[in-house]
A and B are shown apart, each in its own frame.
Chain A
Amino acid sequence: MTELVALDPLPKPKRDILPLLLPLILAVVMLPLIGSPSSWMTLTVASLAMGMMIFIMASGLTLVFGLMDVLNFGHGAFISVGAYVATLVLLPLATWVQADSLLTNLAVLAPAAILAMGVSGALGLIVERVLILPVYGQHLKQILMTTGGLIVAEQALYALWGPQIIPLPLPTSLRGSFIFGDIAIAKYRLLAMLVGLAVFLAIQITLNRSKIGLLIRAGVENREMVEALGYRIRRLFLGVFMVGSALAGLGGTMWALYREQVHASMGNELTVMIFIVIIIGGLGSIGGCFIGALLVAMVANYGGFLVPKLALVSNILLMVVILMWRPRGLYAVTNR
């Protein structure tokens, strides 16, 4: 009886790889425009490193929006807090940071990053319970609450550490570059790329291979149905929110080291860029967020080199172009 049905042809599952090719195409097109291969290489590596750091900061936000439709304008607070926590560890241990030994450097860097993630994640727990729980489903109130939260966090950092920029020197063994012929690759950028790639792979494996990951993907698509299957999605969301906050803290730490400074409004300043990234990528899509972060970083680096005057508007331009091509972002995963 059902043979008829079983023989229905199934359209070949086509993987949508066009967005994946974008960064590649952009890089290739830029090579002749920039001219010198070594400048191109430097800019490309800088883009990849910056893109990975932005991805780490933005990945949590896209899942938070995709899963629960929560607009968190305060995500930048986790970035700043993470950076300050890491600084609090790194500054007193300056001798370890300045030691010319990779092991000693890492022995202080790793705990600093882990503590930054822990504090940001814990702060995420409080923010979700106190600020977001009461305003589920109400976008305007979410924006007000989370923006307020960001202002409070920023002012608290000002009050505790003052308005000045705090210098945060890179550990000695991460300074300088690896030289290949006339190409120089900054060591810290390489590290940032590796960490970013590791985070991306860890998230992808979790989303694709674990039941929790399946629940997150299913919840992004249709959270009512996930609840109707008997899963308490609020708990899942709290977990995602905390992990996202912790990742923002890690990203903030890495960003601060990249810039070799921290200041109280750094998270706030990164917020617009992060929103652009997750909108370009398609809200709720980790793959889209990854590509979006790369594109934003490439446009910033290549654009800054070729037409410095465009630097201020290049992100917005990129977003407009992408949204004209795909109005819901590179990968549209939610049905909202």
Chain B
Amino acid sequence: MTDLLTLTNVHTHIGRYHILHGVDFAIPEHQTTMLLGRNGAGKTTTLRTIMGLWAASSGQITLAGQRIEAMATPDIARLGIGYVPESMAVFSDLTVKENLVLAARDGPLDDNRLEWIFGFFPALKRFWLSRAGGLSGGQKQMLSIARAIVEPRKLLLIDEPTKGLAPAIIGALIECFAEIKRSGVTILLVEQNFHVAQRIGDAVLVMDNGRIVHRGAMAALAEDTLLQERLLGLSLEAHQ
């Protein structure tokens, strides 16, 4: 199994704060890897560093054999990464359609692919010409995910998609991620809710204080409650 994305000893500073202290991991191709860790562990910073939204101060980031840590964000995105940020960042002044038109960088919207997306998220079809700013939180999350997959991408970086959403919507998202993975996409997904994480993940990384403190199979961690307790503590319970 080859690795699509590798981080080697990545350090990131935000202003004068040292946030990532040598992050090391590899994301195997065609799998879903969960990135867990308590609040402030550095998960979002890790995704932003991969996207080039924060500059890595040292270390290497490799995507499909190509070094990307010094590249500009648009060039990194053009290598085939879709990004769903923690804030969702839908363009609220644009309609649902316009959000997706922009996300389809390489040409007009593909009808078949749109139908595939509407299959997961019928609400997007319903509100196709509505301002995205008027959507509910869950619908914005769907739009943000749809934007990342509106064209085929190699790798998706998804930051806490289920945060604050109702169980029914979370169920829809879980199905959607499974389907995306079946289509051959590699996913790196930040998730605080362990129940959700164990339903989605093949592999798992746990972060603390800007370092990876555990890496392994999701199934193994799911069975080992002691290890869960040690790595994730009470912070995950609080999210359930």
Write the residues of chain A forming the contact surface with B, with a CB cutoff of 8 angstroms: 1-6, 8, 10-11, 13, 211, 214-215, 217-218, 221-222, 224-233, 333
Are B138 and A215 in touch, CB under 8 angstroms?
A: no
What 7 A-B pairs are tightest by C-beta distance, nearest first? A230-B77, A225-B89, A227-B73, A6-B122, A218-B91, A6-B123, A2-B172
A residues less than 8 Å from B94 (CB atoms)? 214, 217-218
* Bound complex: CA A285 to CA B204 (Å): 45
Instruction: Determine which of B103, B122, B130 lies in contact with A229 in the assembled complex, contact meaning CB atoms within 8 Å.
Output: B103
* Bound complex: CA A228 to CA B73 (Å): 6
Are B136 and A8 in touch, CB under 8 angstroms?
A: yes
A residues less than 8 Å from B217 (CB atoms)? none
- How would residues 161 to 183 of chain B score, 1 for a CB under 8 Å from any chain A CB and 0 otherwise? 00000001101100100000000
Instruction: Determine which of B134, B136, B139, B172 lies in contact with A13 in the assembled complex, contact meaning CB atoms within 8 Å.
Output: B134
Beyond A221-B92, A224-B53, whether A10 also contacts B74 by CB under 8 A is no
A residues less than 8 Å from B172 (CB atoms)? 1-2, 5
Are B102 and A2 in touch, CB under 8 angstroms?
A: no
- How would residues 111 to 131 of chain B score, 1 for a CB under 8 Å from any chain A CB and 0 otherwise? 000000000111100110011
**Band of interface residues on B:** 35 or more
Are B171 and A222 in touch, CB under 8 angstroms?
A: no
Are B78 and A230 in touch, CB under 8 angstroms?
A: yes
- How would residues 92 to 109 of chain B score, 1 for a CB under 8 Å from any chain A CB and 0 otherwise? 111000110111010000
Are B51 and A228 in touch, CB under 8 angstroms?
A: yes
- How would residues 66 to 78 of chain B score, 1 for a CB under 8 Å from any chain A CB and 0 otherwise? 0000001110011
* Bound complex: CA A1 to CA B122 (Å): 10
Interface centre among B123, B127, B135, B171 (most CB of A within 10 A): B123
- A-B contact count, CB below 8 Å? 95
Instruction: Determine which of A5, A10, A233 lies in contact with B130 in the assembled complex, contact meaning CB atoms within 8 Å.
Output: A10
* Bound complex: CA A222 to CA B99 (Å): 12
- How would residues 7 to 40 of chain B score, 1 for a CB under 8 Å from any chain A CB and 0 otherwise? 0000000000000000000000000000000000
Beyond A215-B102, A228-B51, whether A5 also contacts B89 by CB under 8 A is no
Are A221 and B93 in touch, CB under 8 angstroms?
A: yes
**Minimum distance in angstroms from A114 CB to a CB of chain B:** 32
Extra inter-chain contacts (17) besides given A1-B175, A5-B168, A218-B102, CB under 8 Å: A3-B122, A5-B172, A6-B123, A8-B123, A8-B136, A10-B127, A11-B134, A214-B101, A217-B93, A221-B92, A222-B89, A222-B91, A228-B53, A229-B74, A229-B105, A230-B74, A232-B72
Interface check B85, CB cutoff 8 A: yes
* Bound complex: CA A64 to CA B105 (Å): 23
Q: What are 9 A-B interface contacts by the 8 Å CB criterion?
A: A2-B123, A6-B122, A8-B136, A10-B136, A214-B101, A217-B93, A218-B102, A221-B92, A222-B91
Are A5 and B122 in touch, CB under 8 angstroms?
A: yes
Are A1 and B171 in touch, CB under 8 angstroms?
A: yes
